[in-house]
Amino acid sequence: MATQTALSAHPTPIPAAPVHDLIRERVRERPDAPAVIDGAQRLTYAELDAASDALAARLVARGAGPETPVGVTVRRSTGLFVALLAVLKAGAAFVPLDAAYPRERLDYIAADAGIALWLVGPGVDVSPGFDAARVVRLDATDDGAPAAAARLPAAVHERQLAYLIYTSGSTGAPKGVAVEHGPLSMHCRAIVERYGIVERDVVLHFASVNFDGAHEGWLAPLVAGAAIVVSGDALWDAAQTVDAIRREAITAVAFPPSYLRQVAEWCAEHDIRLPSVRSYTTGGEAMSRETHAVIDAALAPPRLVNGYGPTETVITPLLWTSHDPSGLGDSAYLPIGTPVGARHVALDPAAGDDTPSDRPRGELLIGGYGVARGYHRRPALTAERFEPDPDGAPGARRYRSGDLVEALPAGGYAYLGRTDDQIKLRGLRIEPGEIERCLLGCDGVREAAVVVRDTPAGRQLVGYLASGRAALPDVDAARERLRASLPPHMVPSSLVALAALPRLPNGKLDRLALPAPVAPRAAYRAPSTDVERALAALWQALFGVEQVGADDHFFELGGDSLSAASLQARIRESLHPEFELAALFDTPRLADLAARIARERGAAQDAEADALAEIDALLNAEESATHAVPR
């Protein structure tokens, strides 16, 4: 039985115009204002509107319309937001398909979503098995269809599908969450109000559009008439992010806690202040009090917002803002705040734990207008997770979040943990069952388990695979299988081969008895060059180990994308100012990476010397010509 119902303090009127119509209002008011900024490439509101209208007409001419899923694979650029906005204007629903994901996963999502068209940007290829006649290229001018004659829909109904976002699935396959136009519009307007986003704001857009929070990050600013600055496809290191914030006078940023901490530590180490930023948002995973203290000391944020929300409840249904430190309570994590917009929440104490408490606690149930339609083509799972809402209108539903929370005396809620095994890591939701199923598909693997462990490099996924016999599974083959099937954030940093998984007397997995991973280490060979020694020192500090050899492998030591970005910043600062993250993924062995850095530095120095020599030659020639003129 649910208790402790709480309503939003700022309910948002419903229904309302869809987000693309709200953005059109800003186009009429501020046609020449900047809308999307990607380095030197900038689109005004009028240019964004015209480009997305033209593309929407092409989509309509190709058959896009209500409930039509349109796959979108466009690299991060101004074109990405033209594409997403065009799909909404066409009355269709976008399905983000990240080009960085393995082909196997993209094929699965495209088939499960039933995409009718696949919109792709420059340099992107679709699956070979997809009908080429249904591919729409962003950079094409003529698809052979009468786009100019196509009319955009005069209106989009609030219950039409806006997008499908695929999240990790506990049954072993990703599942699509279907979100409609009405709840999306309500949420974006509520976010504009809660944050106080105004026309002069410049918002850094940082997250992959495969993550639902990324759509709040571009839609809400554009609904408010603000500008967004697009980060690159590759994860920026802290130095690059800080440079962009200062260069573009960014006023609002949103990062996972672990990355925001990297930015804070970089600023503290280099005595940097970021006066333009008035709002820092974090979310996607719980923020510890210790991380909050580091961020507070280094950045002194005028406002820190902790966003909470499952994809099933339309991005961030609850927010906590750091205006009042007394509202922190005594939880190990930052509070998750109060409902946003036309939403309400309740607690189900029956789903809680048995820990004595004088405060209401239980599983968080989220209802109101801001709830997704359900899981695409999964009616049984939708019925299981979305239940009738006794506090809503007739026919209304609420979502069982699986998150255990506690009501705080000052209002709002504190996050305590999960009622299941779901993981939130670096801002992304991960179902261990999906990774375990992939491991079970490897030769010689009879049991599998995936957990998160704390390491000196941060929280990391660790996979355990057991053979059930003396001969252990092939870890290298399993790692290749995972990389071919799962997105990068779901591939464990370490794999541990066992004969059998440890079990409790009742037969359940004994998670506490799972051994800590021991990174496979080549026979130690001391670094022998200056670059190798400098690089080894950086790795030692990053991984918290006393010794790193020339033959050690970055990712086998526990490296991941976040620690790679941190290393990139250190290499650029001390070894190679032009170092690119791709080099680490291409040459992860220390000696190979050191040799590459040495070669690239040498080439850069040679190019600089050649340029200086050419300048000297030109100056000498000019001086000789001057002296040769008769006086």
For residues 492 and 568, state if they share a domain: no
Highest mean pLDDT among 415-419, 433-437, 538-542, 557-561: 538-542
Q: What is the pLDDT of residue 160?
A: 96
pLDDT-derived band at 235 (thresholds 50, 70, 90) equals: confident
Q: What is the pLDDT of residue 625?
A: 60
For residue 331, give the nearest of 390, 414, 398, 252 by alpha carbon: 414
For residues 563 and 619, state if they share a domain: yes
What's the rounded mean pLDDT across residues 446-451?
A: 88
Q: Report how far apart, in Å, the C-alpha atoms of 386 and of each of 382, 398, 402, 527 are.
A: 6, 5, 12, 57
What's the rounded mean pLDDT across residues 145-158?
A: 71
pLDDT-derived band at 185 (thresholds 50, 70, 90) equals: very high
State which amino acid sits at residue 520: P
Q: Which two tokens stand for residue 287?
A: 């923020």
Residue 71 confidence (pLDDT) above 70? yes
Half-sphere exposure in the Cβ direction for 302 (13 Å, CA): 11
Q: Assign residue 509 the CATH number of its domain.
A: 3.30.300.30
The whole-chain average pLDDT of the chain stands at 87
Residue 283 near residue 337 (C-beta atoms within 8 A)? no
Angle at 228 between CA 571 and CA 265, to 5 degrees: 35
pLDDT-derived band at 458 (thresholds 50, 70, 90) equals: confident
- The count of other CB atoms within 10 Å of the CB of residue 58 is 26
Least confident range of 9-13, 14-18, 217-221, 309-313: 9-13
For the chain, give the percent of residues with pLDDT over 70: 87
Q: Which two tokens stand for residue 497?
A: 């081969």
Domain boundary, last residue among 450, 480, 513: 513
Highest mean pLDDT among 10-14, 58-62, 102-106: 58-62
Residue 326 confidence (pLDDT) above 80? no
Q: Which has more confidence, 531 or 2? A: 531
Domain boundary, last residue among 473, 495, 513: 513
* Domain annotation covers residue 134: no
Least confident range of 47-61, 243-257, 579-593, 596-610: 596-610
pLDDT-derived band at 624 (thresholds 50, 70, 90) equals: low
Q: What is the pLDDT of residue 5?
A: 58
Q: Where are the alpha helices (DSSP H) in 120-271?
A: 181-195, 213-224, 238-248, 257-269
Specify the residue for token string 């009742």: 506
For residues 470 and 555, state if they share a domain: no
Residue 329 confidence (pLDDT) above 90? no
Give the model confidence (pLDDT) of 346-390 as tens digits: 998 876 665 656 778 899 999 999 999 999 999 999 999 999 999
For residues 552 and 616, state if they share a domain: yes
What's the rounded mean pLDDT across residues 201-205?
A: 97
Residue 307 confidence (pLDDT) above 90? yes
Specify the residue for token string 């269809």: 145
* Domain annotation covers residue 25: no
For residues 508 and 526, state if they share a domain: no
Percentages (nearest 5) of helix, strand, coil residues in the chain: 35, 25, 40
Residue 119 confidence (pLDDT) above 60? yes
Interacting residues of 51 by C-beta distance below 8 A, sequence separation 6+? 43, 82, 86
Q: What is the pLDDT of residue 83?
A: 97
B/e letters for 472-496, b = 16+ CB within 10 Å, e = fewer, are ebbbeebbebbeebbbebbbbbbbb
For residues 494 and 580, state if they share a domain: no
Q: Does 15 sit behind a cis peptide bond, omega within 30 degrees of 0 on the bond before it?
A: yes
For residues 527 and 627, state if they share a domain: yes
* Domain annotation covers residue 282: no
Q: Assign residue 540 the CATH number of its domain.
A: 1.10.1200.10
* Domain annotation covers residue 376: no
For residue 476, give the nearest of 457, 497, 506 by alpha carbon: 497
Give Dmax over CA atoms of the chain in angstroms: 105
- The count of other CB atoms within 10 Å of the CB of residue 403 is 25
| CA 160, chain centre distance (Å) | 25
Q: What is the pLDDT of residue 350?
A: 79
The Cα 261–Cα 259 span in angstroms is 5
Backbone angles phi, psi at 385, to 5 degrees: -95, -25
Domain boundary, last residue among 513, 530, 560: 513
Give the model confidence (pLDDT) of 462-505 as tens digits: 999 998 887 888 888 998 898 888 888 888 888 888 988 888 77
- Which residues form the domain of 617? 522-631
Residue 249 confidence (pLDDT) above 90? yes
For residues 545 and 624, state if they share a domain: yes
Radius of gyration of the chain (CA): 26
- The count of other CB atoms within 10 Å of the CB of residue 534 is 16
* Domain annotation covers residue 382: no
pLDDT-derived band at 513 (thresholds 50, 70, 90) equals: confident
Residue 13 confidence (pLDDT) above 80? no
For residues 500 and 527, state if they share a domain: no
pLDDT-derived band at 3 (thresholds 50, 70, 90) equals: low
- The count of domains in the chain is 2
Q: What is the pTM of this model?
A: 0.81
Task: Using the Cα atoms of residue 570, residue 572, residue 573 and residue 575 in order, give the sign of their dihedral.
Answer: positive
Q: What is the pLDDT of residue 608?
A: 58
The Cα 334–Cα 327 span in angstroms is 9
Q: What is the pLDDT of residue 452?
A: 86
For the chain, give the percent of residues with pLDDT over 90: 51
Residue 161 near residue 180 (C-beta atoms within 8 A)? yes
* Domain annotation covers residue 623: yes
